[in-house]
Chains A and B, each alone.
Chain A
């Protein structure tokens, strides 16, 4: 087997760092070790990775995926300009409902999960899956499972990049009575309306 060229090696490092920052590591050394990089060059490589927006750190120093990364993910589904303006709505939705909220992409019978903020207290759930598949699209929410427990996924679209690809905002909730379900669905729809307005305003205001 011929040795890898330097470009493939660079992509290997990129993928290894991407995997390492998805675990709650608290310092650069752990990330570098987890990514299998040599310590001698690892700090420089990790700094560049962070500077280019593929990683960031919270106030406790734990690494998280950076904003450039998820925006590339959205762009790969055809959603470019204005996505940065939609992000505040994820935290807004989570604050309004206390439940897990995310930006996602619905492609045919699959919802891909993007930037998410987890619910709090009784609505704290494990990390959502990277995607959810369904056979037919229900009226307002999709039944899903998390840790073997039933949940509902509320969805409202705010953009379309192709006939079968739409971007939307979502909330994951424990099963709730009808009245409550309606309230959550309304909040998700209202946030999606704001997202549409935000994208329309992108670049209008300097």
Chain B
């Protein structure tokens, strides 16, 4: 039935069976049953097309969001059409462009490699787990899987990819190292010439034209929605401290830009401090402690682009015995635990490490000849403490359902089902 998703015209049964590699006796009997059950219908001279029953597959929930108990939220009774306009959600044009079907199609099982930029923090380790989970989910389709880590060295990553190409590859998943000199260009060009599907994951190579599809998540959403939440929590007026991630990284810049634009839109939300952490709890703790020690007036809210440093910020307020203001920032199990323990108003948008498994699916879809968007964004759910919702920012999931009390603080929750494997790894 999936043979009709690109071309809905009637197809000759014998052609269909040949393409699918099904022998004639089995194939004709299966087609007969599918016709009798309404999934296919016969048209003239041995042709079939999708039947009326196939239409029943249309109905599809894209996610299962948390049900809001509106009665518990003071003032939250209406939705304004301007809520989304305020967020000004941007739609990257590449989300709506697809790779030409069958460009990379070939028979499986396939050889896939993952060229990983680094394993330098908890999130990157979660990403690796997620890729491995994706491969295990499709183990019958993936004949050979190989992974290399470049430790943020572009020359090393280029050499690793070259070696993997020499051994023969069908698809390359690459999370690119910072590469200001363009060391990756030549080897990615070589991969393209060999018709290898190149799926960039989380970090895109400098030359965008060299990749087939980019799997990522929206930093604009992470920065903008969390700033919108703070602005509405403060009724459009108050002091905010901003704790960004690594200063040189592009996600940090995109999240901060979106947040600053949102705070600016409210006019009287004042950013009284903006510091850069290295996405660790220790750096969050040190920087917030330093601000407190310097006598900076305590903020009404703290915007963190991740809970990786957000946890340290909360701990710094606790250590200084100050009232802890509302915080943003997710990712880290410890952040959710502490926010729930303290009943802290908290809004988090996890940067989904589960995009690793998604990248594997995208690579396999390309090799199966399916139409794949040029850019694939993993959903970024809004995770909130109960009662913290505002007019424009609503929970996709409540923190109490997301937190894992049974797992260590350092676990990154957004790796999805790969968490099971990481649990095993931690136990070992």
Contact = CB atoms under 8 A, between A and B. Distances in A.
A86 to B, nearest CB: 8
Interface stretch (A31-39, A96-104, A136-144): A96-104
B98 A11 contact: no
A174 B80 CA distance: 11
B45 interface: no
Given A7-B29, A120-B396, A130-B59, A202 B98 contact: yes
Contact of A5 (B29, B39, B76): B29
Interface in B364-378: 365, 370-374, 377
A202 B372 CA distance: 9
16 contacts: A7-B33, A58-B63, A59-B354, A71-B2, A72-B4, A76-B50, A91-B379, A117-B61, A118-B63, A130-B59, A187-B84, A194-B91, A197-B96, A201-B98, A202-B98, A205-B374
B57 A65 contact: yes
Q: Which of A51, A59, A71, A97 gathers most chain B CB within 10 Å? A: A59
A73 B59 contact: yes
B5 interface: yes
A94 to B, nearest CB: 9
B377 A72 contact: no
Nearest to B418: A59
Interface size class of B (residues with CB under 8 A): 35 or more
Interface stretch (B134-142, B159-167, B237-245): B134-142
Contacts, number: 245
Nearest to A68: B2
Instruction: Give the 9 A-B CB pairs with smallest separation, nearest first.
Output: A73-B58, A96-B84, A121-B394, A59-B416, A198-B96, A120-B394, A183-B81, A76-B54, A7-B33
Interface string B138-149: 101100000000
A73 B57 contact: yes
B183 to A, nearest CB: 24
A185 B26 CA distance: 50
Contact of B5 (A71, A89, A124, A161): A71
B23 interface: no
B417 A120 contact: no
B60 interface: yes
Contacts of B6: 80-81
Contacts of A114: 58-60
Contact of A117 (B54, B59, B62): B62
Given A8-B37, A51-B140, A122-B68, 20 more contacts: A5-B33, A61-B416, A64-B61, A65-B61, A73-B55, A73-B56, A73-B57, A76-B50, A81-B371, A84-B371, A85-B97, A88-B95, A114-B60, A117-B62, A117-B63, A121-B68, A121-B389, A123-B79, A201-B97, A205-B98
